Structure 1
Amino acid sequence: MFTIDAHLDLSMNALEWNRDLTRPLEEINHREKNLTDKPDRAKATVCLPELRKGNIGLVVATQIGRYVAPENDLPGWHSPEQAWAQTQGQLAWYKAMEDAGEMFQVNNLETLEKHLALWNNGEASEKKPIGYILSLEGADSLITVSHLERVFKNGLRAVGPAHYGPGRYAQGTGAVGKMTAIGHELLKEMERLNVILDATHLCDDSFWDAMDRFNGPVWASHNNCRALVNDGRHYSDKQILELIGRGAVIGGALDAWMIVPNWQRGISDPKTMKCNLNAVIDHIDHICQLAGNANHVGIGSDLDGAFGTEQCPYDLKTIANLENMADLFGKRGYKDIEIENLMHGNWLRFLRRAWA
């Protein structure tokens, strides 16, 4: 089944992890077998050939460059200008992938329908480019609000104002407080340009501040449920209902600590913790039960977002295994049309409405 993944840090993997994502997965992992600089070395699950194997023909692909103030001990860049340069290097990689025929930028209804027609023409997917919608995870790298229009012209179509910790525009995971004054300006500019607000990573205060001020399209690219894993990174039922009321779609994430409670990074083991694809579906099903339908949730895996097989469902060895979720949804009692919506239809409906 055609599948959409609404959150992949492809350029980060290419430039910061130095992975050639055009190569087979086994080759990428073999090349890292003696590296110890990151805990997920030789445990990658994502590359372009594996996306094709799984019929994952469209993804939301990120740029990311976090600014950190002197008192902030999170990893990040020491000036917005450095963060900007990082994201522009990431953009250059996406453009290089386009030039090589490996990827295709989807940024409006015309390019969306053109890409869908290619992927659904009945031919094998081995040679087809992966469609990508460009998203900015954390807005710190926008040196000024006026930079948004510049990146919009480069194809950027979604922005998450915050990432982890305090930010220049909003407060993210682990922080507290409303959006900043320039964050409010950013929301106005996003609304003017019809840029999608990605509510992912906004702390509770900034989330409600954004909901009060923003009238454009909203989604949550990769979020799970606080009712199942009690952590501020996830959404409460009240927040999920707010998003449902706004017509949002929420992407179920596959990072183990977001799936099962009491996960200890670097210590816990997916199998021991019973972290599998069914546990991911528990979160997706919870959102469906709140909504009363299967129209507001999909997949936003975040696979290889600084973790690999050591910290994802044990029954997933490669991102191509996302296709197995369709059968698992069926075993939960979801009807065929509902499964199609969960695998791709909800994201497509959202985009067609947002870009109309």
Structure 2
Amino acid sequence: MFIIDAHLDMALNAIEWNRDYRLSAYQLRELEADLTDKIDRAKGTVSLPDLRRGNIGLVVATQIARFNQSNGNLPGAGWNSPEQAWAMTQAQRAWYETMVDAGEMVQILDRASLENHLTLWLDESIANDKKPVGYILSLEGADSIVNLSYLEKAYNYGLRALGPAHYSTGRYAPGTGLTGPLTAQGRELVKEMDRLGIILDATHLTDDGFTEALSLYKGPVWASHHNCRALVPHQRQLTDDQIKQLTERDGVVGGCFDAWMMKPGFTQRVSNPTEFGISLETIIDHYDHICQLTGNSQHIAIGSDLDGTYGIEQSPSDLDTIADLQNLTGLLTKRGYSPEDIENIFHKNWLRFLRGAWR
């Protein structure tokens, strides 16, 4: 079945982790076998061949570059100025564009390009390895927007979604691990997003930031990669009230496959998903919770965040590569989900959202 994944940090991996995503996940693991600079070396799960193998034909692909004046070791640390962060996002954009030039990917910008891409991917007479993977460009954390004039520049090259916050402090919004509202710049950013028609991603916002952003922003809102706070108590997760606020606006929540967000007590970089009993089925507990809150399956989907600076050491134990997302079909069926429900989760909910946003 066709899958849409609403959160993959592909360019971060390509540029800062130096991964050639035209190779399979297995080939990349072999190349990284002797590297020790990152805990997730030789453990990646994502690649363009594996996306095609898993019938994942459309993704929301990110740019991400933080500003925190940390003088930290790169890759992966924050940059010492917003201008440097912007430059990194442009390197990431260039990678996506070279993948387009190579026929590996295609950028989805509007309703027409979305429908054309769907027609291609739903044509079973064409092999998946002959199809480019579609991507919708999103910015995770707004630190790299040097000033508001840069937001329109980004829209003009194809930015279609933006999450103002990421982890810790931010120029526009505090993020995961902090409290407090949007900054003064953040309020203006959200208003400018509304004017331009850029989708608001509520992921990583603080509780105060979430409430304020949804109040200021009148357009379409999604939570690209989130799970339920009722099941895993942490500020990174959505409360029941936040889920209800999103669904009242016909928003969609992309279930995240980062192990620590799936089951309480898992310690990042320490715990083992197998020993902890975290599998693909664990995400269905979060789906069930949202279905019970909303009364239907129309607000849950996939936003895997696989290879989001972690690999198989922090992914569901029965997921070897991203292609294994297809195994959710049987697991959802066993849990009582109908074929229509599964289609909603795999792609129809994201499609409904995008068609509504891009009228």
Aligned equivalent of 1:55: 55
Q: Which piece of structure 1 moves more, 71-80 or 173-182?
A: 71-80
Aligned equivalent of 1:216: 219
CA distance in 2, matches of 1:287, 1:20: 36
Q: Cα distance, 1:266 vs. partner?
A: 2.1
CA distance in 2, matches of 1:69, 1:22: 33
Residues 247-305 of structure 1 deviation map (CA, whole Å, 9 limit, x = unaligned): 10000000000001111122211111010011011111111111100000100000000
CA distance in 2, matches of 1:253, 1:57: 18
Aligned equivalent of 1:45: 45
Q: Counterpart of 2:200 in 1: which secondary structure?
A: strand
What amino acid sits opposite 1:26 in the alignment? Y
Q: Counterpart of 1:104 in 2: which secondary structure?
A: strand
What amino acid sits opposite 2:348 in the alignment? G
Q: Cα distance, 1:87 vs. partner?
A: 0.1
CA distance in 1, matches of 2:46, 2:117: 21
Q: Give the conservation status (yes or no) of the 8 Å contact 2:71–2:79.
A: no
What amino acid sits opposite 1:211 in the alignment? L
> What are the equivalent positions in structure 2 for 1:62-211 lying under 5 Å apart?
62-69=62-69, 75-122=77-124, 123-211=126-214
CA distance in 2, matches of 1:280, 1:335: 17
Residues 127-157 of structure 1 deviation map (CA, whole Å, 9 limit, x = unaligned): 2100000000000000001111101011100
Q: Give the conservation status (yes or no) of the 8 Å contact 2:72–2:78.
A: no
Aligned equivalent of 1:238: 241
Residues 213-238 of structure 1 deviation map (CA, whole Å, 9 limit, x = unaligned): 11011000000000111011001111
Residues 106-128 of structure 1 deviation map (CA, whole Å, 9 limit, x = unaligned): 01001000100010111210121
Query: Structure 1 residues 267 and 186, CA, compared in 2 at 3 Å: closer, same or farther?
Result: same
Q: Which piece of structure 1 moves more, 50-59 or 119-128?
A: 119-128
CA distance in 2, matches of 1:351, 1:211: 18
What amino acid sits opposite 1:214 in the alignment? Y
Q: Cα distance, 1:75 vs. partner?
A: 3.0
CA distance in 2, matches of 1:244, 1:303: 25
CA distance in 1, matches of 2:70, 2:11: 26
Give the ranges of 4+ consecutive aligned residues of structure 1 lying more than 2 Å apart after TM superposition: 69-75
Query: Structure 1 residues 184 and 25, CA, compared in 2 at 3 Å: closer, same or farther?
Result: same
CA distance in 2, matches of 1:171, 1:234: 15
Aligned equivalent of 2:254: 251
What amino acid sits opposite 2:107 in the alignment? Q
What amino acid sits opposite 1:100 in the alignment? A
2:295 is the counterpart of 1:265: no
What amino acid sits opposite 2:268 in the alignment? R
CA distance in 2, matches of 1:75, 1:129: 31
Residues 89-113 of structure 1 deviation map (CA, whole Å, 9 limit, x = unaligned): 0000000000000000001001000
Q: Counterpart of 1:271 in 2: which secondary structure?
A: helix
CA distance in 2, matches of 1:245, 1:223: 17
For normalisation by structure 2, the TM-score amounts to 0.97
Q: Which piece of structure 1 moves more, 259-268 or 218-227?
A: 259-268
Q: Give the conservation status (yes or no) of the 8 Å contact 2:70–2:79.
A: no
Aligned equivalent of 2:309: 306
What amino acid sits opposite 1:20 in the alignment? D
Match of 2:294 among 288, 291, 294: 291
CA distance in 1, matches of 2:282, 2:132: 31
Q: Percent identity?
A: 57
Q: Give the conservation status (yes or no) of the 8 Å contact 2:49–2:129.
A: yes
CA distance in 1, matches of 2:215, 2:71: 30
Residues 140-184 of structure 1 deviation map (CA, whole Å, 9 limit, x = unaligned): 000001111101011100000010011111110011111011111
CA distance in 2, matches of 1:351, 1:121: 21
Query: Structure 1 residues 180 and 52, CA, compared in 2 at 3 Å: closer, same or farther?
Result: same
Unaligned residue ranges in structure 2 (runs of 5+): none
CA distance in 1, matches of 2:351, 2:20: 29
Aligned equivalent of 1:6: 6
Q: Give the conservation status (yes or no) of the 8 Å contact 2:70–2:77.
A: no
